[in-house]
Amino acid sequence: MTMPISKRIIFYVLLFITGFIVFAPTLMALVMSFMSNKDIMTGSFPTMLSFDNYVKAFGQFPLLKYLFNSFIISALIMLGQLILSSLAAYAFVFLEFKGRDLLFYLFIATMMVPFEASIIPNFHTIRDLGWIDKYEGLSIPFFALAFGTFLLRQNFKQIPKELREASQIAGMGDFKFYLSVVLPVSRTSLLTLGVYGFLTSWNMYLWPLLATTNDSVRTVQIGLKQLQTQEQLNDWGVIMAGAIIVVIPTLILLFISQNKLQKGLTEGALK
């Protein structure tokens, strides 16, 4: 199964070129975040590198506060999605009751309703609940997740039915079985879904833009937009420093869990 050397060279050349192109914007932003404004404006190669831009970004904007908010909101959404999706998936796999299939189709149907098409009433709901500028308003609407339910359902289906039956004979109830067997057995896919939920929540844009009006719960994405609108004309180094701060947590998370994420998402995507 070894590849001839000529073929291997072709692949490596392709890999390096495409890899460079895909990574270039990120790399460029990273380099720029350490460059002086003068070098950027004149388009020269960096003559000196410093943390000045980061110092400025943190000094001029409550970036730490934004990071903290994003972290809280993403963690809340992640937990909410894990709990709700795993409960629902359990019902679809291990419980038999009238109307189950109908409800399953209802869950599928939710995938066809784009959140963007229902932001107007949702905005009003949040406003009427007094959840504008609150963590609840930014997290709770995203707790129920059809995709997560399918992904976990797929995984729970691989748990042998006999495990449930053995626990039935031992006299164990459904909720206890869910807690003490199903969740520990499928921790890998829970982790996958958790990472996915955290990533997508961290990167949310439209909803935090609408549901925050001040810095108290504003997320780092909206912070970055503000940084950009206010600094646009003069200081690209600071903007890039802000952008790098925004992407570092998710990139690290992605690098750590890339393999699991890939397997998990493929499983969930294809029944």
Looking at residues 118 to 137 of the shown chain, list those that interact with another protein (rule: CB under 8 A): 118-125
Give the containing element (helix H, strand E) for 145. Answer: none
Cβ 152 to another protein, closest distance in Å?
12
- Give the residue among 40, 58, 36 at the shortest CA–CA distance from 49: 36
The span from the CA of 53 to the CA of 92, in Å, is 52
Q: Among 188, 209, 213, 216, which residue sits at the site for another protein (rule: CB under 8 A)? A: 209
- Residues in 232-261 at the binding interface with another protein, rule: CB under 8 A: 236, 239-240, 242-244, 246-247, 250-251, 253-255, 258, 261
Site for another protein in 163-182 (CB under 8 A): 163, 165-172, 174, 176, 181
Q: Does 151 bind another protein (CB under 8 A)?
A: no
> Judged by CB under 8 A, does residue 28 bind another protein?
yes
Secondary structure letter of residue 180 according to DSSP: I
Whether 210 contacts 119, CB under 8 Å: yes
Best CA proximity match to 88, nearest among 106, 72, 113: 106
Give the interface size with another protein as a residue count (CB under 8 A): 105
Alpha-carbon gap, residue 8 to 2, rounded angstroms: 9
Say whether residue 38 binds another protein (CB under 8 A): no
Residues 86 to 105: which contact another protein by CB under 8 A?
87-88, 90-91, 95-100, 103
Length of the chain in terms of residues written: 271
DSSP state at residue 35: S
Interface with another protein, residue 25, by CB under 8 A: yes
Q: Of these, 75, 79, 132, 140, which contacts another protein (CB under 8 A)?
A: 140
* Member of 113, 158, 213, 234 binding another protein (CB under 8 A): 113
Q: What is each CA distance from 118 to 66, 115, 222, in whole angstroms?
A: 26, 5, 21
Nearer to another protein, 64 or 124 (CB): 124
The tokens for 98 are: 């009238």
Q: Which is nearer to another protein, 78 or 222 (CB)?
A: 222
Q: Per rule CB under 8 A, is residue 64 in the interface with another protein?
A: no
Site for another protein contains 72 (CB under 8 A): no
Contacts of 107 (CB under 8 A, 6+ apart): 88, 146, 149, 150
